[in-house]
Amino acid sequence: MKQHPIGNGFCVPRVPREVAALIAALQMKGAVTDELVGLKEEEWDSLLRFCDSAHLTLPLSQVCSSEFPSWVLERLRRNAADNGRRFERLKSTYLEVAAAFAQAGIEHVVLKGFTQAPEYIANPRLRQQSDIDLYCPKEMIPRARAALESIGYSPEQTLDYSRADHLPTMVRYGDWRWRGNAFDPDMPLSIELHFCLWNEAIAEFSVPEMDGFWGRRVKRRLEDISFPALSPIDQLGYFTLHIVRDLLRREWVIHRVHELARFLHMRAVDGSFWREWKEASSSSFRALQAIAFFHANAWFSCDLHPAIRNEIAMLPPIHREWLKRFAGSALEDMFHKNRDGVWLHASLVKPARKRIELIWKTIVPTQVPSIETPARVYRKRGLKESRVSNKYLRYGPYLLGRIIAHVRSTSVFIWHGMILYFCGRRAGTQL
């Protein structure tokens, strides 16, 4: 895999050719579909599976060309139609939950999901959504959970939620079964009850501005439903910090960055919004958001208001250096694991002792991979299962592979840290 330049001069790092073609087609300015048109059938198959996982199938459906293979066009049309019907289910599910909360005297705000329309996504039917995210003040969380249980929801028990910002996902079990369709209109929606907007204990640094979001919540309307939501400026703050958090956690953020790029592109000439944004935010909070703004502009060529460009230019030298060198790391990490985000994380953590602990935990693993971990390796063309059925026999090669991969990635991690260190010294700051 090689780097692929896109319209704004940013070089998409090592990603499959079909993914680079998708990114080129999703640009806010200078979007091109030539590379998509030239994909082979197996590349299309790989791309569609990637898009389902990355929540980019529906954005792709909006740029499809008559020159795409007929089976691809049919697949995208079917997905869009299914998701349109799924949105009707989403609305009815939310209204049922909101009624249960109202009866129990529970206040909440809706996060992400359909609240992204119409500024981050043109139509809520064009956004893949598998759960409804609700925030309640901590003192209301027990009653909110009880209200959900009263209408048939129960906590999911198989995953580790110790690093989540929400309780274990609440699901309502029925007779529905997975049939391979990520847009199945009959797929039940789960509920995630968020007890915080920023998890300082996990992030290891605070964002005190988020404490004021609850008091500024607003009532919004979308089609035939109304719901409490964050104010427009606070929604932007929450969403950008959600992107930064996932960058630090090495989670897939490409669909969120694409939505942010659309918002910034649409608001690029709205001086009054950005004046209000600047007045409502501290310089440190704006600097955190600027990290997400930079990614949106680099990945998807969106226009930026001068106030945003100024915030990016005023970032600390170590952050500018990291963005200059590693803004594509999160894209590459989807296919070739890297830990460049740890250096960004370390630059945000204080005091120095915590930085050292964070870096040390990255270099020296604290857990041995579980013997239950399936020996699955992501290839360019998809996930392949090990043919060895006995978990004890396949654990040895799996563990050896993990050790080799860790040594290799740690070497790159340390090398990139040295680059940042010496560049930071030249710039008059240190990590």
Q: What is the pLDDT of residues 191-245, one digit of tens each?
A: 999 999 999 999 999 999 999 999 999 999 999 999 999 999 999 999 999 999 9
The dihedral built from the CA positions of residue 111, 112, 116 and 120, taken in this order, carries a sign that is positive
- In the prediction, which pLDDT does 382 show? 42
DSSP 3-state assignment of 382?
strand
CA gap 247, 196 in Å, rounded: 19
Phi/psi for 311 (5° steps) reads -65, -40
- In the prediction, which pLDDT does 6 show? 61
**Domain span at residue 44?**
1-68
Contact 354, 204 (CB under 8 A): yes
133 Cβ neighbours under 8 A, 6+ residues apart: 110, 111, 112, 113, 166, 192, 194
Q: Is 93 in the same domain as 64?
A: no
Q: Is 92 in the same domain as 63?
A: no
111 in any annotated domain: yes
DSSP 3-state assignment of 222?
strand
Containing H/E element for 11? Answer: strand 11-12
What confidence tens digit (pLDDT) does each residue in 267-287 have? 999 999 999 999 999 999 999
pTM (predicted TM-score): 0.89
In Å, what is the CA distance from 69 to each residue of 163, 332, 382? 42, 27, 20
CA gap 15, 299 in Å, rounded: 13
Q: Is 156 in the same domain as 191?
A: yes
Q: Percent of the chain beyond pLDDT 90?
A: 73
217 in any annotated domain: yes
Q: Is 64 in the same domain as 195?
A: no
CA gap 179, 389 in Å, rounded: 24
Q: How many structural domains does the chain have?
A: 3
Q: Is 145 in the same domain as 11?
A: no
Name the domain boundary from 37, 68, 99.
Answer: 68
Contact 223, 163 (CB under 8 A): no
417 in any annotated domain: yes
248 Cβ neighbours under 8 A, 6+ residues apart: 203, 341, 342, 344, 345, 348
Phi/psi for 384 (5° steps) reads -120, 130
323 in any annotated domain: no
**Positions in the chain whose pLDDT score sits under 70:** 1-9, 11, 365-395, 398-399, 402-404, 406-407, 412, 415-416, 422-431
Q: Is 110 in the same domain as 193?
A: yes
- In the prediction, which pLDDT does 379 show? 36
Q: Is 46 in the same domain as 152?
A: no
180 in any annotated domain: no
- In the prediction, which pLDDT does 401 show? 72
Q: Is 113 in the same domain as 39?
A: no
1 Cβ neighbours under 8 A, 6+ residues apart: 14, 15, 16, 17, 335, 336, 380
Q: Is 413 in the same domain as 371?
A: yes
Tokens 């399936």 belong to: 374
DSSP line for 127-159:
S--SEEEEE--GGGHHHHHHHHHHTT-EE--SS
301 in any annotated domain: no
- Torsion angle in degrees (nearest 10) through CA of 215, 90, 246, 410: 160
Q: Is 41 in the same domain as 151?
A: no
Q: Is 56 in the same domain as 103?
A: no
- In the prediction, which pLDDT does 370 show? 52
- In the prediction, which pLDDT does 368 show? 54
In Å, what is the CA distance from 11 to each residue of 8, 15, 283? 9, 11, 30
320 in any annotated domain: no
3-state SS of 175-197 is CCCCCCCCCCCCCCCEEEEECCC
274 in any annotated domain: no
Q: Is 26 in the same domain as 136?
A: no
CATH number at residue 215: 3.30.460.40
- In the prediction, which pLDDT does 225 show? 96
The dihedral built from the CA positions of residue 43, 46, 50 and 56, taken in this order, carries a sign that is positive
